[in-house]
């Protein structure tokens, strides 16, 4: 689906969106109506952090900047996660 359809559904269902290229890189987008965030970049996979000789799963903090290219906006393969 295109990014407009995906964004509408994501907002209704409180889900993130991605496309095959970004999903392969472990990135998804969480659309919001927040004045300060707009679209959050989120990771789709946790990473491991070594602390006191033990590993624990951690999720990267969401980022708030995404500079889409025209090709990103014209894609027809956006999907809900």
Q: What pLDDT sits at residue 25?
A: 77
Bigger pLDDT: 67 vs 13: 13
Kindly report the pTM of this predicted structure: 0.69
Q: What CA–CA distance (Å, rounded) separates 35 from 26?
A: 25
pLDDT tens-digit map of 53-68: 776 655 565 566 677 8
pLDDT tens-digit map of 19-48: 998 888 777 888 888 776 666 666 666 555
Bigger pLDDT: 26 vs 69: 69
Matching residue, tokens 């509408």: 8
């Amino acid at each position: 689906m295109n990014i407009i359809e995906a964004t509408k559904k994501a907002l209704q269902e409180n889900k993130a969106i991605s496309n095959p290229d970004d999903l392969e890189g472990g990135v998804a987008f969480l659309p919001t109506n927040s004045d300060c965030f707009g679209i959050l970049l989120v990771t789709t996979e946790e990473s491991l952090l070594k602390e006191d000789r033990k590993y624990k799963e951690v999720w990267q903090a969401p980022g708030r900047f995404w500079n889409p290219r025209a090709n990103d906006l014209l894609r027809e393969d956006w999907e809900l996660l």
